[in-house]
Amino acid sequence: MKVAVGDEIPEWDMPSVRPERMRTMAAILRDPNPVHWDRRVPAKLGYGDHTINQGPLGLSYMVNMLHAWTGPTSIRRIVMRFPMAVLDGDHIIARGRVTAIREHAGERLADCDIWLHRPGTENPLEGTATVVIGD
Amino acid sequence: MTQTGIPPESEIRALVGHEFPGGDYTIAHWENFLLTECTGAEPLPDDLAHPVALFHMPILGARTSIGEMFALGQAESDFSIGIESYDWEIHRPLREELTYKVTGRITESDRRQDSTRTYDRIQFQFDLHDPDGTHAARTTITWTYGRSSK
């Protein structure tokens, strides 16, 4: 595939983060933190009537963007920071940009900046990814 | 979970080198299906597991839990935990119904202070190996444990 430094990764859209998915996630993760499934708790912390998305779920939106772009076995590394919480009901868009192209261990790799965009706020998640882009 | 007072810094620093028991983990089809649905994606082809499994699978496979990781850092409450970063290195794609050997340890642990708060920063690292012994993935979780008083 043709990839160049500066290319934008096709964005991946999550129109509304859903609270029931946080509950399923909490059960599978054995995650005891009620901020993910009991709205009364984040309300006391100043988040209003919203549960807080698990960090790995926010990260997974980036994974979905990268899979759609370069395929389901392409990710070699993903590093993510979490400046702000993602809440149920949020409209989230995963975006990214190619910052370098290099060869390593016989693979052609693209290094990328990636982030979650939420209209009207700072980016709630920011990080980097390395994906295989083939020949 | 409630921890009153700030633990001695020496106890936080002493966490470095802590090893979890370790063990095996197999991502079941139902588990991968539900996890993938939670991400908003369609199931992946060829028995591939969605990489979102790289959060809970190493933790449970190493025979620990989110609750124990909170407790090791003597978290004041569930709400005092912040995520600094997650770092997932994938050497081989994960697959359903494949049993991975998992090991885990604490690699960094110290006390920090910035202009607004005191917190402890603890880094957990987990390694996954395929049944044939190949290193499949490494995950590094870095959490902050906020301290409300000093």
For position A118, what pLDDT does the model report?
Answer: 96
Mean residue pLDDT across chain A: 95
pLDDT at position A37 is 92
- Domains in chain A, please, with CATH? 8-17+53-132 (3.10.129.10)
Residue of B55, B80, B81 for testing the chain A interface, max A β-carbons within 10 Å = B55
In this prediction, residues A103-108 reach a mean pLDDT of 94
Residues of B in contact with A28 (CB under 8 A): 31, 34-35, 38, 56
- Given CB atoms, is A119 within the 8 Å cutoff of chain B? no
pLDDT at residue B150 tops 50: no
The tens digit of pLDDT for each residue in B97-107 reads 999 999 999 99
Torsion angle in degrees (nearest 10) through CA of A104, B124, A125, B3? -170
Q: List, edge to edge, every strand of the sheet that includes A75-81.
A: A8-14, A92-104, A107-117, A125-132, A75-81, B81-90, B135-147, B118-129, B99-113, B23-26
CATH 2.60.120.480 fits B9-147, yes or no: no
Percent of chain B predicted with pLDDT > 70: 96
Q: Give contacts of B60 with chain A, Cβ < 8 Å.
A: 30
Q: Is the pLDDT of residue A29 over 70?
A: yes
Q: Each residue of B33-83: pLDDT tens digit?
A: 999 999 999 999 999 999 999 999 999 999 999 999 999 999 998 888 999
Do the chains contact at B38 and A75, CB–CB below 8 Å?
Answer: no
The confidence score (pLDDT) of residue B92 equals: 96
Cross-strand pairs, B112 = B119
What is the structure's pLDDT at B149?
Answer: 60
Query: By the 8 A CB rule, do B52 and A63 touch?
Result: yes
> What gap in Å lies between CA A32 and CA A121, rounded to an integer?
28
How big is the A-B interface in CB pairs under 8 Å? Answer: 107
B39/A28 CB distance under 8 A: no
Q: Is the pTM of this model over 0.90?
A: yes
